[in-house]
Amino acid sequence: MAPFFIFVLLTVAQAKLGPDANYWMYAVKTVVGAWMVWEIWPLVKEMRWAFSWEAVAVGIGVCVIWVGLNPYYPMNHVFIQPSAGDKPWNPFEQYGAHSSLAWFYVAVRTLGSAIVVPPIEEIFYRSFLYRYFVRYNFLTLPLATFHVTSYIVTSSIFGFMHYQWLAGILCGMSYQWLVVRKGRLGDAMVAHGITNFLLGIWIVWKGDWQFW
């Protein structure tokens, strides 16, 4: 649980320290997140990447859903505010169209969201929270267990932690389905990483900075 909550606190701080902090704090958060994953990797055996065709399909599908649904529902203004006070996260606008610093921040965010974020979020939502709602001693509950109430509640919590809440709920449901189907966490980690990486490519390619 600790890496997730520390990551969230750093995210909150990122939005509170001014426009520049929205960028350099993301880099700091990514480094701290990578260090936390490194430290708990030997302790949490479930946190292991696992490739499968289902993981690839879900990862691509969720990215398509995330982008495709965006114009058709209101965003989550209740819990989440767009970065930097309604100003999209766009390092090229902040530092210049040809700035090497801007490209550095784009690379950090793309790789950080694809490699660092998935293990932190998946171990919290799909392993801990999903099973904790079913059984206090959650480690005794197999990952392959399907519990409809926890499935809906956990996916909804995950969704409302995002600005694109509806896509987030469907995303959470898809990743949890992978965990239950495979009986392991690694496929959801891979799917999550693929989704975030492809979304990063889309954002930079299309200049669709609202997703960051």
195-205 tens-digit pLDDT: 999 999 999 99
pLDDT at residue 86, as a whole number: 56
Alpha-carbon gap, residue 144 to 179, rounded angstroms: 6
pLDDT at residue 82, as a whole number: 54
The chain-wide mean pLDDT, for the chain, equals: 93
Q: What is the DSSP string of 96-119?
A: -TT-HHHHHHHHHHHHIIIIIHHH
Q: Which whole number is the average pLDDT over 46-65? A: 97
**Residue, of 22 and 156, whose pLDDT is higher:** 156
Contacts of 211 (CB under 8 A, 6+ apart): 66, 67, 70, 164, 199, 202, 203
Domain spans, the chain: 2-211
Instruction: Give the pLDDT confidence of 142-188 residue by residue, as tens digits.
Output: 999 999 999 999 999 999 999 999 999 999 999 999 999 999 999 99
17, 25 Cβ separation under 8 angstroms: yes
